[in-house]
Structure 1
Amino acid sequence: MELNFLEIVKAINGEVLVDSKNNNFNSLCIDTRKIEKDNIFLAINGENFNGNSYVKEAFEKGASIVIIDEILFDIEELEDKGTIIKVNNTSVALLSLANYYRKKLGIKVVGVTGSTGKTSTKDLIASFLSDKYKVFKTKGNFNNQIGLPLMILELDSSYDVAVLEMGMSDLGEIHTLAETAIPDIAVITNIGLSHIENLKTRENILKAKMEIIDFFNEDNELILNGEDSNLKNINSKCFKITKTGYNHEYEVYGTNIILKEEETEFEAHLNGKHHKFTLPMAGKHNVLNAMLAISVANKLGVTFESMEKGIANLEATSMRLQLIKKDKFIIINDCYNASPDSMKSSLDVLNTYKSGRRIAILGTMNELGHEAFNAHKEVGEYASDKVDKLVVIGDYKDSFKEGFNGEEIEIYTTKEEFISNVQTLVKENDILLVKASRGMKFEDIVNSIKQISI
């Protein structure tokens, strides 16, 4: 972090309870298991744990400064161990510190949100920009009110652009993230059913995603997937909006799409110019994600030719349509998360394989509330002509089954039950898609399949 001690105290409105006078620090950590020498330890006070209880341990592991919001230790016992700063709320302090640091660095920030496709779009934006700029992007799923500020605090002045993913589960959360990150450009991928359990309606989901523009002015730009019916008609007189899609009614659009097993070809159109791209990613949905990324890159002055060079730097987040080629079969690991839209997109990718059995191993999609039964049924129906065998696991196995009109289906109550039978399922030349919501931890299934020998 390119901050000094006094800036940190000011940014978090902190009270210095103990000043060791040797306030050297390098980075901030919230997990004592990962503390390194001269880290700042910020004690998050969460629902299931209280970081304030681990201050002594943090000092013992090498922290030079701790930030707390509750005193659960003897100050005199620790006053020779390091500096102690007290704030009203450490979670709020983390957001305030990140906001202060973002303003100080002054780099361009691209915020990405949406019900599905956030991570893939983030990865594509970062790659399309990478030939011209040094780009930082959100790691993994660090996209909430703890993860996003931690990502900002990993930045330094050597970066030109930060591409930050913004997730949410309820109203007000993206407002807080936008207030912290202050995006110059915002991207919304789509409005699906994810989190409808909390938000009840798509209108509320749209309202929550649109919080990303709460701090916009005439200098900002919002980039939208115009193919999404909830985003298509959004307009503003206060800032610029660019919409992307599959035809010439949009400012940026893709045509001549060719879907292959491991890549996707398309022609991008922008400002009267066009360029053929080949993405090392499968699925038509990634063309829409790429159109959003191309719009961001164009806004930041990147040419088509430079974007193409940047594709070579694409680093896709793991467990997102990750192809695992074994000697005699293929696994498509898509365990990162799941929603009705992303399930269908993944089934489309599986359907591009024309040799070998196409087997989809699907589990529960979480946070769908009253839409859960119909959503799982709809995915089962969609899979009917996309797979040779459907395997369904979990609470909504019967919903999948009711929608499925294909010939072969296997039903399991738990993933452990399936894993105990997995050896009998896989045959030579099979292509196996594995997908469910993050909480189902279907990577356990992927790992079990990887151990099979035929």
Structure 2
Amino acid sequence: MEIAELYKCFMECGKVTTDSRNCPEGSMFIALKGETFNGNAFAAQALKQGCRYAVIDESEYAGEGTILVDNCLQALQQLANYHRRQLKTPVIGITGTNGKTTTKELISTVLSRKFNTLYTEGNFNNHIGVPLTLLRLTKEHEMAVVEMGANHPGEIKTLVHIAEPDYGIITNVGKAHLQGFGSFEGVIRTKGELYDFLRAKGGATIFIQNENPYLNGIAEGLTCVRYGQTAGLYVSGELISCSPFLSFRWTAEGVSHEVNTHLIGSYNLDNMLAAAAIGRYFGVSDDDISSALASYLPHNNRSQLKETADNKLIVDAYNANPTSMMAALKNFRQVEAPHKMVILGDMKELGEASREEHQKVVDYLKECGFDRVVLVGPEFAAATHSYQTFQHVDEVLADIWMHKPQGYYILIKGSNSMKLSQLPECL
């Protein structure tokens, strides 16, 4: 089936699902394959549960209501790109090593003050999530903010050719997914694929953190709207306090605004300034920008402050890499509290650099002088004999129930697979 024909079927449905357990009435089911499942086998079930069509790529599952294509994943991606081209909604593409999800949400919160804005939900930022996001676009949407993630070279290139962004922002580049990228330079090249697409498009605008040498090094030939902590930029900012919530001042055209946020961490200052710069570029009023940033509430275990009957917790357990781990520790070191404790989980996908990067964290911990340090995972355990270590989160939970900390300010940070998000409930 040609993509134009498939698109007509999609327009009859208006919604796409890839999950046979979630089939809105009249939607289109696309049968994707994974390591442990074959979506084709669930096509009949999806049709019974309310889907109008089921897109399959194995003829043995054909029947009434099915649409046979060569490859369902490619069909999903081509359909999303075709839909994006029909609507011509301005798209801002966002990627980066750290902060892209928070920045995406801040940008969307600001733009929503003026525009009907579609944005990536959760972490739907891969080769499946990006097309699903684009297929949620309607004629009513005036802006779209599409997050793009990657852990291997070439992945951003694939995603930008699906989303075809008109504007771009790379939040930063750092040491993450080194096992997949091969090196830090590989990270820079892959994130830079967003810039490459926009440069080839001609006349495209990017929003760039002014003080980042790596981003400036790959931004040649692009129109740059600059934000950062240097005076005189399109949007300039400075930290007021971070004890524990971030308060900052942003300035544009000589006019300053103070904002008290609900985000933990001085490292979120650049994320706030990015949202302010993009909002201002698209004509959101300064007052609306400040109000939107002040009202944003973090979730999904990202820079959240949780107060329990026994302790105060900074929960940043959704992800971790050497760059974000050191930023979190440096911020926590500055927090004023009588008793401080950290619970850190292994940083994943670092390949040959893993032992060295975990050792750097341990060495820095020795400088910090925290009252108590708990390290979780085999990489941290191999890096130190000075601190209490556990192999798995279950062991930490058992220890906490026996020796429950009380009266501590506690930072919890680790890769999502370490499951440290289980800890707040018992602390």
TM-score if structure 2 supplies the norm length? 0.92
Structure 1 distance, partners of 2:297, 2:13, is: 30
Q: Is 1:258 equivalent to 2:241 in the alignment? A: yes
Q: How does 1:213-228 map to 2 (within 5 A)?
A: 213-216=195-198, 217-228=201-212
- Over the matched positions of the two proteins, sequence identity in percent amounts to 29
Give the 3-state SS of the residue equivalent to 1:380 in structure 2.
helix
Match of 1:144 in 2: 126
Offset of residue 251 of structure 1: 4.2
Match of 2:142 in 1: 160
The number of residue pairs the alignment matches comes to 424
Corresponding letter in the other structure for 1:33: R
Moved more, 174-183 or 307-316: 307-316
Residues 372 and 228 of structure 1: is their aligned pair in 2 closer, same or farther, counting only changes over 3 Å? farther
Match of 2:412 in 1: 434
Unaligned runs of 5+ residues in structure 1 are: 1-8
Contact 2:171 2:271 in 1 (8 A): yes
Offset of residue 115 of structure 1: 0.7
Q: How does 1:84-233 map to 2 (within 5 A)?
A: 84-216=66-198, 217-233=201-217
Q: How does 1:46-85 map to 2 (within 5 A)?
A: 46-73=34-61, 75=62, 78-79=63-64, 83-85=65-67
Q: 1:40 aligns with which of 28, 52, 61?
A: 28
Give the 3-state SS of the residue equivalent to 2:192 in structure 1.
helix
Give the 3-state SS of the residue equivalent to 1:175 in structure 2.
helix
Q: How does 1:286-435 map to 2 (within 5 A)?
A: 286-384=268-366, 385=368, 387-401=370-384, 409-435=387-413
Q: Deviations over 1:429-448 (max 9, x none)?
A: 2222222112222222334x
Moved more, 294-303 or 363-372: 294-303
Structure 2 distance, partners of 1:358, 1:157, is: 51
Offset of residue 410 of structure 1: 1.2
Unaligned runs of 5+ residues in structure 2 are: none
Offset of residue 231 of structure 1: 1.6
Corresponding letter in the other structure for 2:42: Y
TM-score if structure 1 supplies the norm length? 0.87
Structure 2 distance, partners of 1:209, 1:419, is: 37
Structure 1 distance, partners of 2:217, 2:209, is: 11
Contact 1:131 1:309 in 2 (8 A): no
Residues 58 and 118 of structure 1: is their aligned pair in 2 closer, same or farther, counting only changes over 3 Å? same
Structure 1 distance, partners of 2:361, 2:261, is: 26
Corresponding letter in the other structure for 1:229: P
Offset of residue 123 of structure 1: 1.5
Structure 1 distance, partners of 2:378, 2:335, is: 29
Corresponding letter in the other structure for 1:231: L
Give the 3-state SS of the residue equivalent to 2:378 in structure 1.
coil
Structure with the higher helix share, 1 or 2: 2
Residues 23 and 144 of structure 1: is their aligned pair in 2 closer, same or farther, counting only changes over 3 Å? closer
Moved more, 294-303 or 84-93: 294-303
Q: Deviations over 1:22-47 (max 9, x none)?
A: 99524111011112322211000233
Give the 3-state SS of the residue equivalent to 2:98 in structure 1.
coil
